[in-house]
Chain A
Amino acid sequence: MSELFIELLSEEIPFWLQKNIVEQFKKKIIDVIIENNLSLSNKINIDSQFTPLRLIFSCRNLIKKQKSLVKEIKGPPVNAPENAIMGFLKKVGVSKEKLEKKKINDQDYYFAKYEVIGKKSEEIIKNNLENIITTISWQKSMRWIHDNFKWGRPINNILFYFDNKFIPLDFLETYSINNNSFTISHKKNEKKIKFRSFDEYKKKLISSKVIVEQSKREGKIKKEINNFCKRKKIVLKDKHNFLVSLNAGSTEYPNVLFGKIQKDYMLLPQEILEVVMINDQNFIPLFEKNNNLSSYFVIIGDLIEKKFQKKIMKDNEKVLEARFADAAFYWKNDLKITLESRKQLLSDIQFHQKLGTFEDKTKRMEFFAINLANQLNFQFNASHLMQAVKLSKLDLTTGLVREFPELQGIIGGYIAEVEKKDKFVCLSLKEQYLPQGPSDLCPKRNLSILLSLSDKLDTLLGFFLIGETPTSSKDPYALRRSALGILRIIVENNLKIELEKFFNDEVINKYNVKDTKDFKINNLIIFLIDRFRFFLKSITIRQDLVNAFFIEKSFNSDFLTLYKKFIALDEFINKGEGKKIIELNKRALNIVTIEGTKMEINNFIDKDLLKEQHEKILVDSLDKVKNKIKNEQEDFKSVLNAISSLHNPLNNFFDNVMVNVNDVKIKSNRLSILKKVLDILKAYADFSKIQK
């Protein structure tokens, strides 16, 4: 049993890049192992770890050397010209006496047997490593010494051990990458570490204060935060776990320090403090149990001796205070001008060159908001709604939003509070951009829903009108996020609306876009459907169901109903009831597919041709189910139960009725019955795509 071990040592690679590369690299090693039969067991277990400076892979259970194989190869016919035969001999390296003859289609051919000598595993892996490192695809990468070799940041050293033996990698010289047999300790000590095995490597690294496992670094941070939080009766929010990961992925030995925010700054809106801490510094904010920001926050350092910790913590606090002081200055200034009097300033800010200023946008949003409120039959206070829309974008003119763009909306809400506006108006201003990420809550209050939907619908339609639609790699106006936000608000608030109705000529005219001839509403609906599938994938564990789920061409853009239909299917399948339908679908589909290539199957079932009892029963059941589907329309559970009730009649049909009979008319009629079964199923989902 042999073991491979690879370490790539580089300069600091950003966490988000490094964690993706680990998986890709790992897969490439597995491919090499599989392709060359290097594993002793069927399950290939690669231990892969990373730090900002290291990528580490090890795999046990490998063979030392491939088995030698005898292979046979077909040559030219025996009567081929001599030089063709000589050419073949040369190619396989065998003498003519050793050739065998075999007959294929009445013609004798030469065959040669030759031995493929098994190669050493270390040779194979070594020879593949160059290919692996040069074909990794990075989302962002750079050149440093070599003309066209790219990596996330410069690589210092690559080492490869096989069976506890250092194997030199000659090709690294071409790329000016070191190939030392030793590694380096934590950067703060910068010592050479020599080792003979992977186990020894890990032990020595740990004692040099490098934790190679991301999960252990995260664990260390979390444990220390939790201990602190318990003592202080405060909490770390789940939504800030990403900061724990980010910090763990940016250090080799995380030290957790706790800073404190000065009292004066705690008077600022807490979102400002939060944004400054997170975006500027990757500090982790901590919260009181009542959800208010606590005055404590977390600083993660990389291997800091105890005696320096306090000074480093104080220095960090000072940096934060300078930023808070900036924010406090803006906040004080911003309150000097009322929201309403900022209207003039807003007309100077472009939303988009072709879509006018933010003032233009607000005017269109009024229109969306009123129409939405009417279609949804919302109870609402019209003057509050108009006020919310009119105020919604005014905070874009404040110093704070210019300095911290992610606080748009929130600042407006706070200023409105100071100006004693209606509390739901203030709330809607703060919530208008929600939800932004998957961990964000959706607005729940009517006013907030209307404002948030109006903003997103206006954005989405606008950019589609001017043809600025997302491509596979680029979505500069975050339209995917807007679309997802619309869908989540609809679904989570149980809103029955047909979005298509908002994309009419009256609305389109309000944009004053000169040339809209390339715009098709259908493209926008298709985009929304695509986002809807993405959304479904995020809420179910059954990705296959989403792929199987059918959305009709005539879909009227009522996503709530579509959502309910999917959820019914999801529950149905997860309860195990789907099994029957899947089997049934499979049998029917097999026959129809095979016979369909031989003859045309029409949609009409001729009742006079029904001979056997079980086919009559099936056709009766089909009619009943079809009626039921028609009547139940939106009670998808009943629809699925009705479909499920086809199981017995269909089973009996398969057991007792021959489809493949000599009488072509009867055969064709029976195929039509099966086709109808399939059609009924297909109106719901493509059951052949669902795994049992």
Chain B
Amino acid sequence: MASNKNVLSFQDIIFKLQNFWSNNNCTIIQPIDLQVGAGTFHPATVLGALGKKSRNIAYVQPTRRPTDGRYGKNPNRLQHYYQFQVLLKPSPKNIQSIFLRSLKSIGIDQKKNNIQFKEDDWESPTLGASGLGWEIRCNGTEICQYTYFQQIGGVECNPVSVEITYGLERLAMFIQKTNNVFDIIWNVNKKEKKTIKYKDIYLESEKQFSKYNFELANTEYLFKCFEYVENECKELLNNNLPLPAYENCIKASHYFNILDARGVIGVAQRQSYILKIRSLVKNCCAIYIKLEL
């Protein structure tokens, strides 16, 4: 449906969501400038969900999952994509209807579609975090993840935050009625009558990064990097600096993800790496709370 000029572009969807949540009491912040595996990893969410202070934030987060790369050949899979993340603490009473209105603001009307709340309890072994909630399906497509955090870094969340994660590419594909992620219209430049598509921006990068993640990443170097950031994190924790310490957890997690994509981590080893990261995150959270930040 690329011919439809009125269709929401990828960037329009982001603008609309930002506006919607801005009008609903959220501070629109910017992504973390590190490679993360999910929008949740942003310190504004992980550390923000801890402690008593109320927080209402929303942001776009570029996200990397090296194992999901397909050299740009699969119409549904990417190793780099975007999430739109909302965190509300405490969770407002009428959050479900606010959420449904946010979908309506980008043209997904629950009266015209079949919106399902399908049980999906969330757990992040590396973050030592868990929550209950749903994946939100629209006519069968999973478009969002909706979670009431119960635990982060091994710490009980009190008050409970609600986290809503929109899969922006999935939403765009649904809204623009396209079957291929690379055909998503990113922007229509009305003056020049030019359409910029997802592939114009990211196809080449998908090819190159798939090659890097699966074939060329230097595993010996990455194992060492993991060790360095692990030690760095510990050292920072000794100095009561949980914020930079936590950034090193994010780095460790990304190194681990590439090593995983390279297929050099065995089953037993895998578990021990996850535990290493989790214990670092736990300590960051504990100190963050202790310092009442």
A residues neighboring B (CB under 8 Å)? 11-12, 14, 52, 140-145, 147, 153-154, 156, 176, 178, 187-188, 190, 250, 281-282, 299, 301-302, 304-305, 308, 311-312, 315-316, 318-320, 322, 326, 348-350, 353
Q: Does B148 lie within 8 Å of A147, measured CB to CB? A: no
User: In this complex, what residue of A is CB-closest to B117?
Assistant: A12
Q: Given A281-B140, A315-B140, is A308 in contact with B113 using a C-beta cutoff of 8 Å?
A: yes
Q: Does B140 lie within 8 Å of A316, measured CB to CB? A: yes
Q: Does A315 lie within 8 Å of B141, measured CB to CB? A: yes
Q: Does A145 lie within 8 Å of B93, measured CB to CB? A: yes
Given contacts A145-B91, A316-B114, could you give 8 more A-B pairs where the C-beta distance is less than 8 Å? Answer: A140-B132, A145-B90, A145-B93, A145-B159, A154-B148, A176-B93, A312-B113, A315-B141
Question: How many whole Å from A179's CB to the nearest CB in chain B?
Answer: 13
Q: In the assembled complex, which residues on chain B have CB atoms less than 8 Å from the CB atom of A316?
A: 114, 139-140
Q: In the assembled complex, which residues on chain B have CB atoms less than 8 Å from the CB atom of A144?
A: 91, 148, 160
Q: In the assembled complex, which residues on chain A have CB atoms less than 8 Å from the CB atom of B116?
A: 250, 302
Question: How many whole Å from B164's CB to the nearest CB in chain A?
Answer: 13
Measured in the bound complex, the distance between the Cα atoms of B63 and A185 in whole Å is 39
Q: In the assembled complex, which residues on chain A have CB atoms less than 8 Å from the CB atom of B119?
A: 12, 14
Q: Does B110 lie within 8 Å of A315, measured CB to CB? A: no
- Residues of B in contact, count (CB < 8 Å): 34
User: In this complex, what residue of A is CB-closest to B121?
Assistant: A140
Q: In the assembled complex, which residues on chain B have CB atoms less than 8 Å from the CB atom of A302?
A: 114, 116
Q: Does B132 lie within 8 Å of A322, measured CB to CB? A: no
Q: Given A143-B150, A144-B148, A145-B159, is A318 in contact with B268 using a C-beta cutoff of 8 Å?
A: no
Q: List which B114-155 residues lie within 8 A (CB) of chain A.
A: 114, 116-119, 121, 131-132, 134, 138-141, 148, 150
Partner of A190, one of B75, B97, B132, B158: B97
Measured in the bound complex, the distance between the Cα atoms of B110 and A312 in whole Å is 11
Q: Does B268 lie within 8 Å of A142, measured CB to CB? A: no
Q: List which B30-77 residues lie within 8 A (CB) of chain A.
A: 75-76
Q: Does A315 lie within 8 Å of B132, measured CB to CB? A: no
Q: In the assembled complex, which residues on chain B have CB atoms less than 8 Å from the CB atom of A147?
A: 158
Question: How many whole Å from A451's CB to the nearest CB in chain B?
Answer: 25
Q: In the assembled complex, which residues on chain B have CB atoms less than 8 Å from the CB atom of A353?
A: 267-268
Q: In the assembled complex, which residues on chain A have CB atoms less than 8 Å from the CB atom of B22?
A: none
Q: In the assembled complex, which residues on chain B have CB atoms less than 8 Å from the CB atom of A318?
A: 140, 179
Question: How many whole Å from A189's CB to the nearest CB in chain B?
Answer: 9
Q: Does B268 lie within 8 Å of A350, measured CB to CB? A: yes
Q: Does A312 lie within 8 Å of B114, measured CB to CB? A: yes
Asked if B111 is at the interface (CB within 8 A of a chain A CB), the reply is: yes
Q: In the assembled complex, which residues on chain A have CB atoms less than 8 Å from the CB atom of B90?
A: 145
Supply 19 A–B pairs (Cβ within 8 Å), ascending by A.
A11-B96, A142-B160, A143-B148, A178-B93, A188-B110, A282-B118, A302-B116, A305-B111, A311-B139, A312-B114, A312-B139, A315-B113, A315-B140, A315-B141, A319-B139, A319-B140, A322-B179, A348-B266, A350-B268
Question: How many whole Å from A393's CB to the nearest CB in chain B?
Answer: 15
Question: How many whole Å from A15's CB to the nearest CB in chain B?
Answer: 8
Asked if B194 is at the interface (CB within 8 A of a chain A CB), the reply is: no
Q: Does B139 lie within 8 Å of A145, measured CB to CB? A: no
Question: How many whole Å from B264's CB to the nearest CB in chain A?
Answer: 12
Q: In the assembled complex, which residues on chain A have CB atoms less than 8 Å from the CB atom of B134?
A: 12
Most buried by B among A12, A141, A190: A12
Measured in the bound complex, the distance between the Cα atoms of B93 and A11 in whole Å is 11
Q: Given A302-B116, A308-B113, is A320 in contact with B140 using a C-beta cutoff of 8 Å?
A: yes
Q: In the assembled complex, which residues on chain B have CB atoms less than 8 Å from the CB atom of A301?
A: 114
Binary contact track B95-118/A, C-beta < 8 Å → 1, others 0: 011000000000000111110111
Q: In the assembled complex, which residues on chain B have CB atoms less than 8 Å from the CB atom of A315?
A: 113, 138-141, 174
Q: Does B111 lie within 8 Å of A188, measured CB to CB? A: yes
Q: In the assembled complex, which residues on chain A have CB atoms less than 8 Å from the CB atom of B114?
A: 301-302, 304, 312, 316
Q: In the assembled complex, which residues on chain A have CB atoms less than 8 Å from the CB atom of B268?
A: 350, 353
Q: Does B140 lie within 8 Å of A11, measured CB to CB? A: no
User: In this complex, what residue of B is CB-closest to A176?
Assistant: B93
Q: In the assembled complex, which residues on chain B have CB atoms less than 8 Å from the CB atom of A145?
A: 90-91, 93, 159-160
Q: In the assembled complex, which residues on chain B have CB atoms less than 8 Å from the CB atom of A282?
A: 118
Q: In the assembled complex, which residues on chain B have CB atoms less than 8 Å from the CB atom of A140?
A: 121, 132
Measured in the bound complex, the distance between the Cα atoms of B236 and A155 in whole Å is 42
Binary contact track B149-189/A, C-beta < 8 Å → 1, others 0: 01000000011100000000000001000010000000000
Q: Does B148 lie within 8 Å of A142, measured CB to CB? A: yes
Q: In the assembled complex, which residues on chain A have CB atoms less than 8 Å from the CB atom of B111?
A: 188, 305, 308
Measured in the bound complex, the distance between the Cα atoms of B132 and A524 in whole Å is 37
- What 6 pairs between A and B have smallest CB-CB spacing? A315-B139, A319-B140, A14-B119, A12-B117, A316-B140, A301-B114
Measured in the bound complex, the distance between the Cα atoms of B160 and A12 in whole Å is 18
Question: How many whole Å from A21's CB to the nearest CB in chain B?
Answer: 14
Measured in the bound complex, the distance between the Cα atoms of B120 and A153 in whole Å is 12
Question: How many whole Å from A178's CB to the nearest CB in chain B?
Answer: 8
Measured in the bound complex, the distance between the Cα atoms of B92 and A178 in whole Å is 13
User: In this complex, what residue of A is CB-closest to B120?
Assistant: A14
Measured in the bound complex, the distance between the Cα atoms of B97 and A178 in whole Å is 15
Measured in the bound complex, the distance between the Cα atoms of B116 and A349 in whole Å is 37
Q: In the assembled complex, which residues on chain A have CB atoms less than 8 Å from the CB atom of B138?
A: 315
Measured in the bound complex, the distance between the Cα atoms of B139 and A12 in whole Å is 17
Q: In the assembled complex, which residues on chain B have CB atoms less than 8 Å from the CB atom of A250?
A: 116, 118
Q: In the assembled complex, which residues on chain B have CB atoms less than 8 Å from the CB atom of A156?
A: 93
Question: How many whole Å from B161's CB to the nearest CB in chain A?
Answer: 10
Measured in the bound complex, the distance between the Cα atoms of B124 and A454 in whole Å is 36
Measured in the bound complex, the distance between the Cα atoms of B158 and A349 in whole Å is 41
Q: Does B141 lie within 8 Å of A350, measured CB to CB? A: no
Q: In the assembled complex, which residues on chain A have CB atoms less than 8 Å from the CB atom of B117?
A: 11-12, 52
Question: How many whole Å from B50's CB to the nearest CB in chain A?
Answer: 15
Q: In the assembled complex, which residues on chain B have CB atoms less than 8 Å from the CB atom of A153?
A: 132, 148
Question: How many whole Å from A490's CB to the nearest CB in chain B?
Answer: 33
Q: In the assembled complex, which residues on chain B have CB atoms less than 8 Å from the CB atom of A308?
A: 111-113
User: In this complex, what residue of B is CB-closest to A353?
Assistant: B268
Question: How many whole Å from B261's CB to the nearest CB in chain A?
Answer: 15
Measured in the bound complex, the distance between the Cα atoms of B132 and A349 in whole Å is 32
Measured in the bound complex, the distance between the Cα atoms of B100 and A188 in whole Å is 10
Q: In the assembled complex, which residues on chain A have CB atoms less than 8 Å from the CB atom of B131?
A: 142
Q: In the assembled complex, which residues on chain A have CB atoms less than 8 Å from the CB atom of B160?
A: 142-145
User: In this complex, what residue of B is CB-closest to A189?
Assistant: B111
Q: In the assembled complex, which residues on chain B have CB atoms less than 8 Å from the CB atom of A322?
A: 75-76, 179
Question: How many whole Å from B166's CB to the nearest CB in chain A?
Answer: 17
Measured in the bound complex, the distance between the Cα atoms of B94 and A176 in whole Å is 12
Measured in the bound complex, the distance between the Cα atoms of B116 and A304 in whole Å is 12
Q: In the assembled complex, which residues on chain A have CB atoms less than 8 Å from the CB atom of B150?
A: 142-143
Measured in the bound complex, the distance between the Cα atoms of B117 and A302 in whole Å is 11
Measured in the bound complex, the distance between the Cα atoms of B111 and A311 in whole Å is 13
Q: In the assembled complex, which residues on chain B have CB atoms less than 8 Å from the CB atom of A320?
A: 140
Question: How many whole Å from B151's CB to the nearest CB in chain A?
Answer: 10
Question: How many whole Å from A293's CB to the nearest CB in chain B?
Answer: 19
Question: How many whole Å from A159's CB to the nearest CB in chain B?
Answer: 16
Measured in the bound complex, the distance between the Cα atoms of B157 and A145 in whole Å is 11
Q: Does A142 lie within 8 Å of B141, measured CB to CB? A: no
Q: In the assembled complex, which residues on chain A have CB atoms less than 8 Å from the CB atom of B96?
A: 11
Measured in the bound complex, the distance between the Cα atoms of B114 and A128 in whole Å is 39
Question: How many whole Å from A8's CB to the nearest CB in chain B?
Answer: 15
Q: Does B112 lie within 8 Å of A350, measured CB to CB? A: no
Question: How many whole Å from B115's CB to the nearest CB in chain A?
Answer: 8
Measured in the bound complex, the distance between the Cα atoms of B118 and A320 in whole Å is 16
Most buried by B among A140, A154, A282, A326: A154
Question: How many whole Å from A228's CB to the nearest CB in chain B?
Answer: 18
Measured in the bound complex, the distance between the Cα atoms of B110 and A190 in whole Å is 11
Question: How many whole Å from A361's CB to the nearest CB in chain B?
Answer: 14
Question: How many whole Å from A285's CB to the nearest CB in chain B?
Answer: 15
